[in-house]
Structure formats: C-alpha cells, structure tokens
Amino acid sequence: MTETETLFAPASGFGRAAVSVIRVSGPAAGPVLVALSGPLPPPRRLSLRTLRDPADGMELDRALVAWFPGPGTYSGEDMAEFHLHGGTAVRMGVLTALARMPGSPAGGPGAFTRRAVLNGRMDLAEAEAVADLIDAETEGQRRQALRQLDGALSRQVAAWRDEAIDCLAAAEAALDFSDEGDVDDAGLDAALYSRAAALRQAIATALHDGRRGERLRDGFFVVLAGAPNAGKSTLLNALSRRDVAIVSDVPGTTRDAIEVRLDLGGLPVVLVDTAGLRDTAEPVEAEGIRRSRARIGTADLVLALVPPDGVMPDLSEARVRTLPVHTKADLFAGSPQAVPPGALAVSARTGAGMEALLDAIQGELEAGLGAGDALVTRARHRAALESCIGHLDRLLASEGTLPELAVEDLRLAVRSLGEVGGHVGVEDVLDRLFSGFCIGK
C-alpha cells in the first residue's frame, strides 16, 4: 500500500444500526465520490444523494455524502464520507462497489491515522492517543487519552528535544567550525554540560511518576485472596453483579484465575478471583494455588478475605497494599467482637458493607495513583525517554574527554526524544545550526 493510493474502509461498527459510515481518503477520493453519487457536493456539508454502482448503475442507497478537500482533513488528504442506512446489505453493496474501483484498496487497521501521521496532521504520540480514546472504558481513561490527543506529551517532548538540538548545534559548531569568527568555540564548555544535566533531570522527574499513566491505561488489578471457602467467588459475583464464578461449599472449586472488569469511579479495575490458599497434594489445585500466588505478587491491591473464625491468609509475596476484608458479616450478628474494630466487614448475601468496600478499594487505588495528570502513558514512551537519559548520563560522565563522543551522545539523545513523536532525522539540527551561526558563506 502506498501513499498515492486511495483507501476506503468502514468508519463505524459492523452489525445492524441506524447509520453506517464509510470513509474514503486519498488523491482519488473526489472522483470516487463523483462515480457513486454524482457531482461533488459543497465542501464540509452533508448532501442527500442516490448512490449507484458505477459498474452497472444499480441503485445502492439514498444516503448523505460529505466532501472534505485536503489538506485540512483528518488524514491531510482529500476525503469523502458516505453516511448510509445501517443495514448489512447496504453497507456491503457500497463496499463491494468501492472495491471494484481501480487504485482504491481497502484500508487496514489504522490506515487513515497512519496517513495523518505521514502528512503531519499529528505525531506518533497523538496517533496512539486516538487508539487509547477509542479503547477507553472509563472516565479516567477518556480524560487521559484526550490530554494526549491534545498534545500534552508531544509539546513537552518537543521542548526537551528543542533544548537537546540547541546543545547539539552548539557542540557541532564548536567541533567543526571553530576557525570561524562568528562561532563560539566554547560550545563544549561547562555551560553545555550544565544544560544537559538540567535536561536530564527534567526528563527523570517526569519518569518518576509511579507509572500511573500506564496503570490508568491498562487497568488496576485487584486480587481476591484467602483460604478455601473464604467467600472469594461469592464476593466477586456480588461486586460484578453477575454470576461469573462458580460458588460451592466444596473446597478447591476455583482452580484458575477469573477476571472481571469494572469501572470504579472512573478507574478501570480488573477483579481477579483466585484459588483458595492451602497446602494440597492434588496437582491441579496445587498449580492453581501457584498461579494465585503469582497474581498476588503482581497485583496493584490485594483483598485479604477472612471468613468467620478464620485467620488472615499468608500473603508474604504481596509487594503492594493489602486490605483485610472480613466476609460473611451476616454470620457475625450474634458476636460483633468477631470483627476487629475499624476492619471492613461485608456480606455478599445481604449487601452489608459493599459500598464501604468499593469506597475503600477506590481510595487505595487513587492513593497509589498519586496526584496530577500523567505525562507518560505507554511503555514505548518510557523506553524512549529512558534511552535519552542513558545517552545524557554517558555525556555527563565523559565531561572533559573526547568532544566527538559528547556530540555523538547528544545526537543519540535527540534521536531518542524524536522516537516519542516519530520525528527522527538530522534536518532540524542542520536548520538550527546554519540559521543560528550564519556559517553559510
């Protein structure tokens, strides 16, 4: 697939619906629209047209069409849209007609956003935010994706990259053009290293965020742990408000982890029911317990379930906050002293204490998330910024040694920052160098 081809693809979900949207993008978008619906409508206005198959003139639908001349479009190219009746036959008829047109292949996943990146309508980080916004399941995820789509990360990384390019331009000039009268031969002096150290500290501060951006994007894992018959599966069903786990008085019923996704105050939460913790010689149950302990070790929060007359489970492998929860509180009616003062007590059967438990879970997760909005939301962003820090660390450690190595470390730092937004090249360095030092003689 090349940039000169005109792509088409559905822009709405499949299945029966009131309206189905098909998008066309590329240099032949206008002719394609004309072939199916007649003369081009006024730009950026919906117009009612009869759609016909160019092959045989068969009527396909009476639909609304829109014409968006580039470059001021989502993809940066000429674009057209067909707003069809949402029946499957109507949609497939139009898609089939488009597929028969020469030079207009079907676009794959992300094809239009890829064109937007290639045409400079957005950078790579903003394109990733589009995907995150589509996948957002909670209010918190939606807000975070919109911030990234608005360029929160891109603007900050661009500022860091500008500073790194300035340092690199000064270092390049001092190294290669020291005999020129208008070039400061102190470009590799202590001031340069001071600027690099300040840049390194700013990036490190942004990375020292507890990975809250990635955690909000991927979801928080809350593991229910406890002995057999502690009420884990019953509590999971009650919290999810549906029967997702088998409940039985027989110990060892749950053998594998069961996950349920919840929206808890805008936070994406994955509740995980696990096998009851005990010593057993039964190999399948033992494997389930091993997996349970592995999930406990990687959880964001562990609910340690304590049944009546039970004890706290051994959760020494948990490296995060553990919240004790006394289950089957309806059995404590005659002996309130069975629940420690201030402890959480719930009854999945009566619903007692469930709201308090949800509030406690939300409070624990928000406390772990920290204050403020996250800048880094993907592992790719973090890896690129950590790579930049590595190059700056090597630069700072080599102060006073070979200047050629300092220049190379700065060049690699600029490249790492460029990877965040997809801007990797030397043109910016050359532009900054020659416009700032008037070297072109």
Question: What percent of the chain has pLDDT above 70?
Answer: 83
The mean per-residue pLDDT over the stretch 34-42 comes to 95
Banded model confidence at residue 431, pLDDT cuts 50, 70, 90: low
Q: Residues 361-372: pLDDT tens digits? A: 888 888 877 766
**Residue 434: its pLDDT value, please?**
43
The string of DSSP codes covering 244-311 is: -S---SSTT---S-EEEEEEETTEEEEEEE-PPP-----HHHHHHHHHHHHHHHT-SEEEEEE-TT--
In this predicted structure, the answer to whether residue 41 has a pLDDT above a threshold of 90 is yes
What whole-number percentage of the chain has pLDDT above 90?
32
* CA-to-CA dists, residue 36 to 51, 59, 93, 106, 422, angstroms: 5, 9, 12, 16, 37
- In DSSP notation, 64-117 reads EEEEE-SSSSSSSS-EEEEEEE--HHHHHHHHHHHHTSTT-PBP-TTHHHHHHH
Q: Is the model's pLDDT at 439 over the cut of 50?
A: no
pLDDT, one tens digit per residue, over 124-144 is 889 888 888 888 888 888 999
Q: What angle do CA 209, 214, 215 make, to 5 degrees?
A: 90
Please write the tens of the pLDDT for every residue from 326-382.
Answer: 888 777 655 544 566 667 888 888 888 888 888 888 888 888 777 667 889 888 899
pLDDT at 322: 82
User: Crossing angle for the helix pair 139-149 and 152-176, nearest 10 degrees?
Assistant: 40
Distance CA 126, CA 295 (A): 33
pLDDT of residue 180: 56
Find out whether 223 and 321 touch, Cβ atoms under 8 Å: no
CATH number assigned to the domain covering 216-369 = 3.40.50.300
Question: Does 435 have pLDDT greater than 70?
Answer: no
- Which range scores top for mean pLDDT: 95-109, 228-242, 310-324, 336-350? 95-109
Domain range 152-209+377-437, its CATH number among 1.20.120.430, 3.30.499.10, 3.40.50.1100, 1.10.10.60: 1.20.120.430
Domain ranges of the chain: 7-116, 152-209+377-437, 216-369
* Confidence at residue 428, expressed as pLDDT on a 0 to 100 scale: 53
- Tokens at 88, concatenated: 């499957």
Which of 43-57, 119-133, 219-233, 302-316 is most confident? Answer: 43-57
What integer best gives the mean pLDDT of the chain?
A: 82
User: Which residue type sits at 139?
Assistant: E
Superfamily of domain 7-116: Probable tRNA modification gtpase trme; domain 1 (3.30.1360.120)
Note the pLDDT of residue 438.
35
**CA–CA distances in Å: residue 387 to residues 91, 261, 276:** 47, 34, 42
pLDDT exceeds 50 at position 204? yes
What are the pLDDT digits (tens) for 382-417?
A: 999 999 999 999 998 887 667 778 889 999 999 999
Tell me the C-alpha distance between 252 and 284, whole Å.
10
pLDDT of amino acid 230: 79
> For position 156, what pLDDT does the model report?
94
**Interstrand relation of 322-326 and 301-306 (parallel, antiparallel or unpaired):** parallel
Average pLDDT over residues 20-41: 95
pLDDT at 308: 80
Poorest-confidence range of 167-176, 213-222, 267-276, 310-319?
310-319
Q: 124 near 417, Cβ under 8 Å? A: no
The 10s digit of each residue's pLDDT in 209-245 is 878 888 888 888 888 888 887 788 888 888 877 766 5
Q: Looking at residue 189, what is its pLDDT? A: 73
